């Protein structure tokens, strides 16, 4: 079977792992602890594809019906 | 900060052990009697004074508190023989099935049990639902025939409703059951879903019964002085009486049979004490034959403790009555009957500024309208003005007193109509006290409440504190709700006649004399000078309707849009439009076009009201709406406007043409069927031949109906009032009219032509397999001419589907909404624009991803550049 890169699928938006520096900035900006962010499992296919590790923050840029582009951050958790 | 008396750290749910029942009991109850001849409660009886106090003035024998403060104390009954608790009957059955009848271990090998035990420990650590493992264990263990621990042969155990177990031919007594449950080890109990730290299996079989305090089952003293006991007390009397007889008989060494019978009777009474709705048990009844309301019934259902008393409560300071319309009051107002105003009160603290006014209220008392019902002195004493010396009280009234005065004009009240589906279902109104017995409301607020006047009732609540009143006034007042957060447009606006009147007034050929113009302005509540007349003819001055309408528009309003009546011509002639559908408003003057549904109709794309509300504020919008609706109604009254059945009349030649079209369609359908029968039909892609035929027929018939409608429309001009209403979007549609005038069309069920009923045909009046237009529910008649009997039947079939659909839809969407609300109720938008839950967890990083409140945006966008250009230049970009 040919390995398929999920990131190439049309329905999968752009995912990036945030460098720790940026991640801290984001937590500060929203004044939240990591657990108050939406979560993504470390076993998530996209998270695996971009090499996100436990405790990382993933930035997702996706198309939005209302705003054109929307940026969402997710905290990588166990699972 | 509120003092926290006790902080809850943890909660356990378990069973009461017999020891615990005895420990929390203040007395053992032995006699079934309640009171002696003198009316004093009997000690060790069901009304023992140690169980708490309900009569005012007395002190509790246990805690010393007065009635109201004493929470009550439990007693207990020692049961002569154990009795099964019905509520746990299924758990007991599971426990018995899964365990060995001799050694009491779960009938699974040790290795298996070990495995499960580890699994449970693991799940408990993670905080998961460990008790679900029990289902699987019971399922596998109950079918084992030989105990793997002691080798005992297991017997088939049968559960016999309601509370008995049969092992082979032997019936297990509750004592047997309890013995077996006792043998279950703590580890095994864990595997059966019972945590031995808080509950032992044998506690599901009662040996002692807690007797709830009298505060739980207060007796009612009737006017005649006869005491009437609570249903629970009656049931407890039964239990104690039988329990006593049972123990006497056991002591006397009565025959086995008698003891057994009494035991069963005791089981029945205890069962019905817990719940009186067990299948297989006749419900316990009162002497009058009324079914007793015991413990489970108190909690269960819509009127039970949870749904009826905890999730929802009855409130004071509220009123409910029928609603009726009043076009003369503002949308912000509500007409309150004087009777209601005299019953509902608002507390007012006496100050230096209002003493005199409040003294007058007190003097007038509870029966004359702007009066007062009670006075509360600074030391907290209440004076009921029905009985007090009002003159005297008014004199002593001074700062610090509180007067509960009647509801008065301009008070703020909340008004509500169920079902409360969105926030506009509860709005704050200003009171207008009126004669009569109904609440009066402005017609413009019907859409948000979804109210009409066919007998609807609505609720009114009077907020008591100044804080609540201010909050309601600022946030909930009707004018603040004009723009709906649902679609960003007005949900409060003109309806029906309001639109018709404005259209009649703003038509090109409407000319008004001085008297007429002034009469209209007076109706609108405007006392201003007339502008310069537009036309002078034969020495008389005439004003156009547009001039009059313009006087309500705010200065500086610029707008250009296409009205509802616009026919979407290929090339728009703009200002030169033949039907005056191109609206131009410049600097608050209506220069061109007519006012119709696009101008200020509720729940429509109403340009004018939308603009006024967004650019001039809610107060201007409210004023505009109040005035414009009154003006429209006055205009419609002045010009006269009516509709009747003759509005659907069409000349005979039109009828003939329509009949011709329908005949042609029938022929076409027959031809299609012929082609189909000859097998010469070309199937459409992805369709069977039969489906193709159906689609083609539907097409032909729909087209013929449309053509028939078009012919009728030609004869129904804009001088026809029904047509006017449909065209301007005030009420009804052209489809409604053509169905009445020309042809009703195809009836359908599930989007297909009617086909069911008899074998291969809809009715026995047709040949088997007839696929023709009539045979499958096409109605060629019009509502006006009347339906033929068979057509009527088909119409009923189609109509039935519509009714069922609405019924099903409301039920389904209601439940969906309930679940949505439950899921979203704690979310809120923070000051940083994030949507967060109650733990501060982020749900959306920017509200709606664009951070825009639809009610405060233009067409969903933060800035509407087109609108700004249009407003500045007066020309639309498109």
% of residues, chain B, pLDDT over 90: 53
Whether residue B607 is contained in a domain is answered as yes
B32-55 pLDDT, tens per residue? 887 888 778 888 888 888 888 877
pLDDT of residue A1: 66
Whether residue B375 is contained in a domain is answered as yes
Contact A66 B842 (CB under 8 A): no
State whether residue A35 sits within 8 Å of chain B by CB.
Answer: yes
Instruction: Using alpha carbons, select from B208, B163, B274 the residue that is nearest to residue B17.
Output: B208
pLDDT band of B76, cuts 50, 70, 90:
very high
B467 shares a domain with B323: yes
CATH topology of domain A13-77: Eukaryotic RPB6 RNA polymerase subunit (3.90.940)
Mean pLDDT of the B505-533 span? 90
pLDDT of residue B868: 73
Whether residue B328 is contained in a domain is answered as yes
What is the Rg, in whole angstroms, of the alpha carbon atoms belonging to chain A?
13
Chain B residues within an 8 Å CB radius of A72: 845
Chain A residues within an 8 Å CB radius of B845: 30, 70-73
Nearby residues of B177 by Cβ (< 8 Å), 6 or more positions away: B82, B84, B92, B96, B165, B205
Other beta carbons within 10 angstroms of residue B832's beta carbon come to 12
B734 shares a domain with B867: no
pLDDT band of B701, cuts 50, 70, 90:
very high
pLDDT band of B475, cuts 50, 70, 90:
very high
pLDDT of residue B441: 95
pLDDT band of B751, cuts 50, 70, 90:
confident
Contact A30 B834 (CB under 8 A): yes
Domain, as residue range, for B164: 85-205
B456 shares a domain with B364: yes
pLDDT of residue B877: 47
Check whether B864 has a pLDDT greater than 80: no
B226-270 pLDDT, tens per residue? 778 889 999 999 999 999 999 999 999 889 899 999 999 999 999
- The pair of structure tokens assigned to B383 is 């004076």
Check whether B58 has a pLDDT greater than 80: no
B651 shares a domain with B785: yes
Of the candidates B588, B606, B639, which is a domain's last residue?
A: B639
The C-alpha atoms of residue B490 and residue B444 are separated, in whole angstroms, by 11
Nearby residues of B203 by Cβ (< 8 Å), 6 or more positions away: B15, B16, B17, B18
Whether residue B675 is contained in a domain is answered as yes
User: In this complex, how many residue pairs, one in chain A and one in chain B, have their CB atoms less than 8 Å apart?
Assistant: 38
The C-alpha atoms of residue B714 and residue B706 are separated, in whole angstroms, by 12
Run of H or E including B281: none
Q: B593, B580 in Cβ contact below 8 A? A: yes
pLDDT band of A57, cuts 50, 70, 90:
very high
Mean pLDDT of the B600-605 span? 87
Picking from B842, B850, B851, the nearest residue to A37 by CB comes out as: B842
What is the total count of domains within chain B? 5
B613 shares a domain with B531: yes
pLDDT of residue B148: 84
Check whether B70 has a pLDDT greater than 90: no
In A, minimum Cα distance to B837 occurs at A36
What Cα–Cα distance (Å) separates residue B11 from each residue in B8, B14, B17, B497, B840? 8, 10, 17, 61, 24
State whether residue B842 sits within 8 Å of chain A by CB.
Answer: yes
Q: B493, B729 in Cβ contact below 8 A? A: no
- The pair of structure tokens assigned to B843 is 């749900």
**Testing the interface with A: which of B844, B848, B849 to mutate, by most A Cβ within 10 A?**
B849
B786 shares a domain with B673: yes
The C-alpha atoms of residue B194 and residue B90 are separated, in whole angstroms, by 13
B867 shares a domain with B718: no
Of the candidates B582, B609, B639, which is a domain's last residue?
A: B639
Other beta carbons within 10 angstroms of residue B706's beta carbon come to 15
Of the candidates B149, B182, B205, which is a domain's last residue?
A: B205
Check whether A36 has a pLDDT greater than 60: yes
Check whether B816 has a pLDDT greater than 80: yes
In A, minimum Cα distance to B831 occurs at A30
% of residues, chain B, pLDDT over 70: 98
Any idea what the CATH number is for the domain that residue B731 is in?
Answer: 1.10.132.30
Check whether B416 has a pLDDT greater than 60: yes
State whether residue B71 sits within 8 Å of chain A by CB.
Answer: no
Check whether B56 has a pLDDT greater than 90: no
Check whether B323 has a pLDDT greater than 90: yes
DSSP structural state of residue B472: I
Query: What phi, psi does B548 have (nearest 5°)?
Result: -65, -45
| B77 strand-pairing partners | B209
Range from B371-375, B468-472, B862-866 carrying the lowest mean pLDDT:
B862-866
What is the Rg, in whole angstroms, of the alpha carbon atoms belonging to chain B?
39
Whether residue B295 is contained in a domain is answered as no
The C-alpha atoms of residue B616 and residue B623 are separated, in whole angstroms, by 11
Whether residue B404 is contained in a domain is answered as yes
First to last CA, chain B: 60
Task: Give burial (CB, 10 Å; 0-12/13-18/19+) of B371.
Answer: buried
DSSP structural state of residue B840: S
CA-CA-CA-CA torsion for B350, B352, B353, B358, nearest 10 degrees? Answer: 40
pLDDT of residue B871: 62
Long-range pairs for B697-700 at CB < 8 Å and ≥24 separation? B697/B669, B697/B672, B697/B673, B697/B753, B697/B771, B697/B773, B697/B776, B698/B746, B698/B753, B700/B665, B700/B668, B700/B669, B700/B672
Chain A residues within an 8 Å CB radius of B849: 64-67, 70
pLDDT of residue B1: 53
- The pair of structure tokens assigned to B668 is 């076409």
The C-alpha atoms of residue B115 and residue B663 are separated, in whole angstroms, by 80
Contact A66 B849 (CB under 8 A): yes
Q: B209, B46 in Cβ contact below 8 A? A: no
Any idea what the CATH number is for the domain that residue B562 is in?
Answer: 1.10.274.100
Q: What is the pTM of this model?
A: 0.77
B659 shares a domain with B597: no
* Global ipTM: 0.92
In B, minimum Cα distance to A75 occurs at B842
Picking from B834, B836, B849, the nearest residue to A70 by CB comes out as: B849
Contact B845 A66 (CB under 8 A): no
Any idea what the CATH number is for the domain that residue B397 is in?
Answer: 2.40.40.20
B522 shares a domain with B504: yes
B627 shares a domain with B664: no
pLDDT of residue B874: 58
B287-318 pLDDT, tens per residue? 888 899 999 999 988 888 988 888 888 899 99
pLDDT band of B503, cuts 50, 70, 90:
very high
In B, minimum Cα distance to A70 occurs at B849
Instruction: Using alpha carbons, select from A11, A5, A18 the residue that is nearest to residue A71.
Output: A18
The C-alpha atoms of residue B689 and residue B94 are separated, in whole angstroms, by 58
H helices present in chain A, as ranges: 20-30, 45-49
Q: B722, B765 in Cβ contact below 8 A? A: no
**Residues in B 859-878 with any Cβ partner in A closer than 8 A:** 860
Average pLDDT across chain B, whole number: 89
pLDDT band of B404, cuts 50, 70, 90:
very high
Whether residue B24 is contained in a domain is answered as no
Check whether B876 has a pLDDT greater than 60: no
Whether residue B9 is contained in a domain is answered as no
State whether residue A64 sits within 8 Å of chain B by CB.
Answer: yes
pLDDT band of B878, cuts 50, 70, 90:
very low
B787 shares a domain with B732: yes
B634 shares a domain with B650: no
**Testing the interface with A: which of B488, B841, B852, B857 to mutate, by most A Cβ within 10 A?**
B841
pLDDT of residue B220: 83
């Amino acid at each position: 079977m040919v390995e398929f890169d999920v990131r190439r699928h049309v329905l999968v938006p752009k995912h990036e792992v945030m460098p720790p520096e940026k991640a801290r900035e984001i937590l500060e900006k929203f004044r939240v602890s990591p657990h108050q962010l939406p979560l993504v499992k470390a076993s998530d296919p996209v998270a695996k594809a971009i090499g996100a590790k436990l405790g990382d923050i993933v930035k997702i840029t996706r198309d939005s019906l209302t705003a054109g582009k929307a940026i969402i951050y997710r905290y990588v958790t166990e699972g | 900060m509120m003092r926290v008396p006790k902080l809850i750290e943890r909660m356990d749910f378990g069973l009461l052990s017999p020891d615990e029942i005895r420990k929390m009991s203040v007395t053992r109850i032995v006699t079934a009697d309640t009171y002696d001849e003198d009316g004093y409660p009997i000690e060790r009886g069901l009304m023992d004074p140690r169980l708490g106090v309900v009569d005012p003035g007395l002190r509790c024998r246990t805690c010393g508190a007065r009635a109201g403060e004493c929470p009550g104390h439990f007693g207990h009954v020692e049961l002569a023989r154990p009795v099964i608790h019905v509520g746990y009957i299924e758990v007991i059955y599971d426990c018995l099935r899964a365990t060995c009848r001799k050694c009491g271990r779960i009938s699974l090998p040790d290795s298996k049990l070990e495995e499960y035990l580890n699994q449970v420990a693991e799940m408990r650590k993670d905080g998961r639902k460990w008790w679900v493992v029990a289902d699987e264990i019971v399922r596998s263990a109950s079918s084992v025939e030989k105990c793997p621990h002691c080798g005992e042969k297991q017997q088939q155990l049968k559960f016999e409703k309601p509370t008995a177990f049969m092992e082979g031919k032997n019936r297990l007594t509750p004592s047997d059951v309890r013995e077996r449950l006792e043998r279950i080890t703590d580890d095994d109990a864990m595997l059966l879903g019972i945590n031995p730290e808080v509950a032992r299996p044998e506690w599901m079989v009662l040996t002692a019964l807690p007797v709830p305090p009298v505060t739980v089952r207060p007796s009612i003293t009737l006017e005649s002085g006869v005491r009437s006991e609570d249903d629970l007390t009656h049931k407890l009397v039964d239990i104690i009486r039988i329990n006593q007889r049972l123990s006497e008989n056991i002591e006397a060494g009565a025959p086995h049979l008698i003891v057994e019978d009494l035991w069963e009777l005791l089981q029945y009474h205890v069962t019905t004490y817990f719940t009186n709705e067990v299948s297989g048990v006749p419900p316990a009844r009162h002497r009058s034959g009324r079914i007793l309301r015991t413990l489970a019934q108190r909690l269960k259902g819509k009127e039970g403790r949870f749904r009826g008393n905890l999730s929802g409560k009855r409130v004071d300071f509220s009123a409910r009555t029928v609603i009726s319309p009043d076009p003369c009051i503002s949308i912000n107002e509500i007409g309150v009957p004087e009777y209601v105003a005299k019953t509902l009160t608002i507390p007012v603290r006496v100050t230096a500024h209002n003493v005199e006014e409040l003294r007058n209220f007190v003097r007038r008392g509870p029966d004359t309208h702007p009066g007062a019902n009670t006075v509360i002195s600074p030391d907290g004493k209440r004076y009921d003005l029905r009985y007090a010396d009002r003159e005297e009280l008014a004199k002593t009234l001074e700062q610090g007193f509180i007067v509960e005065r009647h509801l008065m004009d301009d008070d703020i009240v909340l008004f509500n109509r169920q079902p409360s589906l969105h926030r506009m279902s509860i709005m704050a109104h200003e009171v207008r006290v009126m004669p009569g017995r109904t609440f009066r409301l402005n017609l413009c607020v019907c859409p948000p409440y979804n109210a009409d006047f066919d007998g609807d009732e609505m609720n009114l609540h009077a907020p008591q504190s100044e804080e609540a009143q201010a909050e309601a006034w600022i946030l909930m007042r009707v004018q603040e709700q004009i723009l709906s957060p649902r679609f960003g447009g007005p949900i409060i606006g003109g309806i029906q006649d309001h639109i018709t009147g404005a259209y009649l007034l703003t038509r090109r050929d409407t000319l008004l004399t001085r008297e007429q113009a002034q009469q209209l302005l007076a109706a609108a509540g405007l006392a201003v000078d007339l502008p310069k007349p537009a036309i002078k003819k034969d020495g008389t001055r005439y004003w156009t309707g547009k001039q009059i309408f313009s006087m309500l528009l705010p200065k500086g309003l610029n707008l250009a849009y296409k009205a509802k009546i616009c026919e979407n011509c290929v090339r728009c002639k703009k200002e030169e439009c033949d039907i005056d559908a191109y609206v131009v408003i410049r600097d608050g003057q209506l220069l061109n076009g007519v006012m119709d549904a696009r101008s200020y109709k509720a729940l429509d794309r109403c340009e004018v009201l939308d603009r006024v509300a967004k650019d001039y504020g809610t107060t201007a919008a409210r004023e505009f709406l109040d005035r414009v609706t009154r003006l429209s109604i006055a205009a419609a009254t002045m010009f006269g406007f009516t509709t009747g059945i003759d509005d659907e009349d069409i000349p005979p030649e039109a009828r003939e043409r329509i009949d011709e079209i329908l005949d042609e369609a029938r022929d076409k359908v027959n031809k299609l069927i012929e082609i189909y029968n000859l097998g010469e039909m070309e199937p459409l892609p992805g369709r069977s031949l039969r489906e193709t035929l159906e689609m083609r027929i539907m097409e032909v018939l729909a087209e013929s109906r449309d053509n028939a409608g078009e012919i009728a429309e030609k004869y129904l001009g804009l001088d026809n009032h029904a047509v006017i209403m449909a065209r301007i979007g005030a009420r009804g549609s052209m489809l409604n009219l053509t169905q009445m005038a020309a042809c009703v069309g195809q009836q359908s069920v599930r989007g297909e032509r009617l086909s069911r009923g008899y074998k291969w045909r809809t009715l026995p009046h047709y040949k088997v397999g007839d696929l023709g237009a009539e045979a499958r529910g096409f109605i060629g008649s019009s509502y006006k001419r009347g339906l033929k009997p068979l057509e009527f039947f088909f119409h009923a079939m189609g109509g039935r589907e519509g009714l069922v659909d609405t019924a099903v839809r409301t039920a389904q969407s209601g439940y969906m909404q309930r679940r949505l609300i439950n899921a979203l109720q704690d979310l809120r938008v923070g000051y940083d624009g994030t949507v967060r839950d109650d733990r501060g967890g982020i749900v959306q990083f920017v509200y709606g991803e664009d951070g825009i409140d639809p009610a405060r945006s233009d067409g969903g966008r933060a800035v509407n550049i087109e609108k700004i250009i249009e407003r500045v230049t007066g020309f639309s970009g498109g």
